[in-house]
Structure formats: C-alpha cells, structure tokens
Chain A
Amino acid sequence: MNIAVLTKQVPDLVEGVEIDSTGKAVDPDSIRYILSESDDHALEEAVLLKERTPARVEMFSLDTGEVRDTLCMALAKGADRVVLIRTGLETLPSNHTVAKIFASVLQGLSFDLILTGVRAIDDLDGSLGGLLAGYLNLPYVGLVRKVEMADGTSMAIVQKEYPGGYAAELEVKLPAVLGIQAAEQPPRYVPVSRLRQVMKTAKVEEKETTAPEPETVAVERMFKPEEGMGATMFSGTPEEIASQIVGLFSERRLVR
C-alpha cells in the first residue's frame, strides 16, 4: 500500500505574527515556520498504518520556511521517502494554489491513501484535503481520528468526529483523501541524537514545479483583536491575583 502525506509549514504562534505596512498581509519577516500541527498527526497516522499493514509512506512538503529539518524528522519517524516541492514562491500561497500544486505533483503517481492535516491555523480559503480531493475527483473525509484498512488495500474504515463526542464510522473506497484531525496516538517523539543520525544520511528529494496562477481572495484589512479586550485584568503578585480571583468567587457566591 502506498500512502502519501501532504504537509505545509505554518507560522509558529509562539513566536507571534505581525501585520505588514500594507495592513493586508502578515509580515513575512515576523514569521518562523513550523510543521502544521494536524499535518504532524497525519504523518503519525500514516506511520501507525505502516506498522500494522505493509505500506510505503512518502511525505511531500512545499518549500516555505525551513522544511529540510521537518522532512528529516519525518524520515526519523518512519517515512520511506521525503520530497521537497520547489515552487519558487516566497510566501505560502492560498490553499487553492497549494492544492493545485499538490494535484500536479501527484499526477501520474499511484497512491492508495493521501493523508493531510484536516486544517491549518492559516486556513482562510478552505482546507487542503477537500480542495485536493475536489480537483482529483477522489472521495474525501475530514476530521478523521482513526483509519483502518479493510478488504486488502481497497477500502479504509475511518472514524469522523462530530460535536458532543460523537463520531461516524464510514467506509471509504480507495484511493481517497483523508483530512486527519488527530492520530490514534500523539505524534511520536524522536530523540535529538536519532534525528542527527538520520540527518547525516538523509536523502531529501527535490521536485521543481511551476506554481499555478495564484488564486486568492482580496483582503481588505488584517487586524489583531484588542489586547485584553473584554476581560477585566487582575494584576500583582501571584498571591495577590489569587486573592482577587477568590474575592470575585465569594462575591458571585461561587465558594462552597
């Protein structure tokens, strides 16, 4: 069975993001990129599947940010092949464009399952998996938390999350695209020593693509929520804050 994992890099929110002088875009200099969290879960689910069923896992990533380390990490986790897609684009394009790039990369390749994170923090124009499935005319299920193979490699049984803790069990004929919400276990940890070892011999393949005509929506303005907007803020030492909060509880008759 062949599994493709499609990933993209997104800004690391721990580092913060700033709006540029046009007021319509994020300042690229303010961003440090990391692997999108749900893409990391997609990779984990692929590796888990490989541990249960003979499979080959190939991970593809666009060239935004420092992708090499992420791809080496994927090899250390169990991916068999990693491919860096050169787009020549300076900033991460819209999901419509990303989906078109991936659709062209996958053309002519044969995969039973295409996994991607169900959503990324910068999704404005839909999610990558659904768009890609639409372009490739493949079935798609998003918010998936569990994947099992059935009937050889012709079908997957997946669990799709619903609100209130419910889930639907669906049967999906392969090939198909799945948007992974969470892998069945947290993404595995790779010790730095192991990563360093892998990096010495890692082969990151590169593939040049011509980016399609960018498809974007016209942003009028970008803005941050006002700091502390809404909340009355307590301040002081932690002891003082604790006393003020409990004071509020007493006032609201929330102390037992």
Chain B
Amino acid sequence: MGKDIWVVAEHFQGHLNDITLELVAKGRELAQAAEAKLAVVLLGSKVKGLASELAADVVYLVDRPEFREFTPEAYCAALEAALKDAQPRAVLMGSTSVGLDLLSMLSARIACPCLDNCTRLEVRDGRLFATSQIYGGKLFVEVAVPEATTLIAVIPGSFPRPEASAAGRPEVQDIPLPATLPELRIKFRKLIEPPPGDVDITQVPVLVAVGRGIQNPDNLPMAEKLAEVLGGAVCASRPVIDQGWLPLTRQVGKSGMTVKPKLYLAFGISGAPEHWEGMKNSELIVAVNTDPKAPIFGGAHYGAVTDALELIPLLTEEARKASMKKAS
C-alpha cells in the first residue's frame, strides 16, 4: 500500500468549500510526516481552474458535463476508478452531504475500511490515529487507522483553514473514465434555493438559540421576547425545525446556516456535532442546559446548569433593566 494522502474536493457554485481547504492543509501535514504526496480528487464540469487553488502535489481531475452537479452515483464511480490502482494511505473527505454519501458507498464498493465523524488526525510514532465523536459528542473514540487504504470523513471546522491560500502548481492528471459512463440511475434535476427568510440569521448580532429543551412551541414567545430585548433573533437546532416549530431559515447547523454572531445564547441545546459545526465561530457563546454533561459546555465560553425555561424570563427582565439603566 502507498503512503499518499488523498483529499476529495467539494465545490459549490464555482468555489471550493472551506472543508476542502481545511482538509488540504491537514493532508499536507500528514503527507509531509510520511514523506509522501498529497493528491486532491477534483470532480465537476469547468472546474479545471480550481486546481490552481489547491496546495497539492497532484490533482486527479474529471472535468465533464455529466459531473456538473453532484450525484452520488457518478462521483462514486469516478472515485472507484481513481482508487482502483492507486492505493493511498488515506482518503479524506468532509462529513458533509456530499462526503457522507461517498464514504459509505465507496467503502462497500472497494472493500476498504471507513471512519466517520472524525475531528482529529495525527501521526504518532509513525502511526496514523483518528479520533471521532459519537453519541452526539458525548464520547470520543480514538482509532488506529487500519493499514489498508482508509476512507475518513471529517467534521467541517475540525482543522483550521489556512489564512491565505498557499496554493501551489499541482500536476493535473485526468482520471481515466470510459467515454460514456454506464447508464446512470441518478439524475440531477435542479437546485432548490433556501426559502426566502423572514430574518437572515447570519446577519443578526445576537442569536437566542433553542433546542429540544424548549419542550413545546408555546415556549417560543418567551425566547422571542428575550431576543427582542437583546436586539437579536431566535434560531434553533435541528429537532425544533423538524417538529415544524420554526421555519428552515432559522436552522443552525450542518444542513442549516453557519452563523458567527457577537453573542450566541444556547438554551436546551446539547451541542451535537451537527449543530456545533454551524455556530462554533460565534464571538461569545453562553450555554444553558439542565445536563451538566451536555457537550455544548465543552466548547461554550460560559455556561450554566439550570432549567432554560425558568431562566429565560429572568434573563429578559434583567436585560431590560440593564438596558434602561444604560439609557438613563
């Protein structure tokens, strides 16, 4: 087996996604430690120009119209072809909508191990170790990455994104694919834009975020009142959106928005990786949860173990008083 590190690139509307730049930076570090090459697999249509933004030794490219939009089947077929003879040490991808589909299917197709939810990768004594988060962030599992080529899906934001693109001049090689692909069973129809939002939560300075702990929709006005006093808006984690209590436009996390407000107040949110991914860069994070072991306390700046439903009205009142004091 080879020692090279591969990264599967993701791009959207002509731009590389942050996760790809994060993985390229990490991949470079791992490749250097192993005195090996870093290769990026870039699949799409009219994407050749993106290759120069990648600080890799080699870019394996498929630039064809049928790859214009992501479909799991076509992308998986191309990766299978690329991986057939090369046997890299590890293939890094995002634990994202694109990466998750590819990770499992490829693992089964080419019979190689895979790891998901990875937040840490390091080489110790010449061996590669990966740490993954499971149980909504309540446990970490450290795994010695198997000796066979291993596919690893990394949670976005786990590794720093390089400040300036340290792009190089990677050698670009086409992945050999048949002139016509076998009949594809999945076809892209259209991109659905986010529904027009009532409030753009990515632009609001203060976010009052509610999770399962809000218990029922009757408690939402309470959170809205606090948001109003603080000059912010209410947003939520996935379970609240899935219940239909707030519109999709208010969702923070993997499938929702990525926000960076001055203040993120999290009420009754456990802090599962899917949510954390969307708000971890907030300037100030204050978390309130009844569970002292809630993973959100691991990353929040401030926290309190108490019932959010009891605390919210008290906070609203205190904030109102402070605001009046400031005005006088």
Contacts and interface: CB of A to CB of B under 8 A. Distances in A.
Interface string B282-306: 0010110000110101111111111
Interface string B136-168: 111111111010000101000000000000000
B17 to A, nearest CB: 8
Nearest to B292: A227
A142 B101 contact: yes
Given A169-B190, A218-B144, A223-B140, A124 B100 contact: no
B85 interface: no
B192 A234 contact: no
A19 B139 contact: yes
Interface in A145-189: 157, 159-173, 176, 179, 181-182, 185-186
Given A118-B100, A133-B105, A246-B318, A238 B189 contact: no
B143 A220 contact: yes
Contact of A143 (B100, B318, B322): B100
Contact of A234 (B251, B304, B326): B304
Interface in A37-93: 41
Contacts of A239: 314
Contacts of B243: 186
Interface residues of B, number: 97
Given A165-B248, A220-B144, A255 B326 contact: yes
Interface string A1-24: 000000000010100110100000
Contacts of B287: 231
Contacts of B177: none
A179 B100 CA distance: 10
Nearest to A135: B108
Interface string B245-279: 00011010011111000110000001000000000
B33 interface: no
A173 B187 CA distance: 9
Nearest to A228: B297
B186 A185 contact: no
Contacts of A135: 108
A32 to B, nearest CB: 13
Contacts of A164: 194, 256-258
A179 B317 CA distance: 45
Interface residues of A, number: 88
A220 B138 contact: no
B125 to A, nearest CB: 12
B191 A166 contact: yes
Given A125-B116, A170-B186, A230 B100 contact: no
A171 B97 contact: no
In the A-B complex, the 9 residue pairs with the smallest Cβ-Cβ separation, listed nearest first, are: A134-B108, A130-B104, A165-B194, A126-B104, A231-B303, A242-B314, A173-B185, A246-B318, A161-B255
Interface of B: 12, 69-73, 96-97, 100-109, 113-117, 129, 132, 134-144, 146, 151, 153, 185-195, 206, 229-231, 238, 242-244, 248-249, 251, 254-258, 262-263, 270, 284, 286-287, 292-293, 295, 297-307, 310-311, 314-315, 317-319, 321-323, 326
Interface of A: 11, 13, 16-17, 19, 26, 41, 95-96, 99, 118-119, 121-135, 139-143, 157, 159-173, 176, 179, 181-182, 185-186, 215, 217-235, 238-239, 241-243, 245-246, 248-250, 252, 254-256
17 contacts: A125-B115, A133-B105, A133-B108, A140-B72, A140-B104, A143-B255, A163-B97, A163-B254, A169-B188, A170-B71, A186-B242, A223-B142, A225-B140, A231-B302, A231-B303, A233-B304, A241-B304
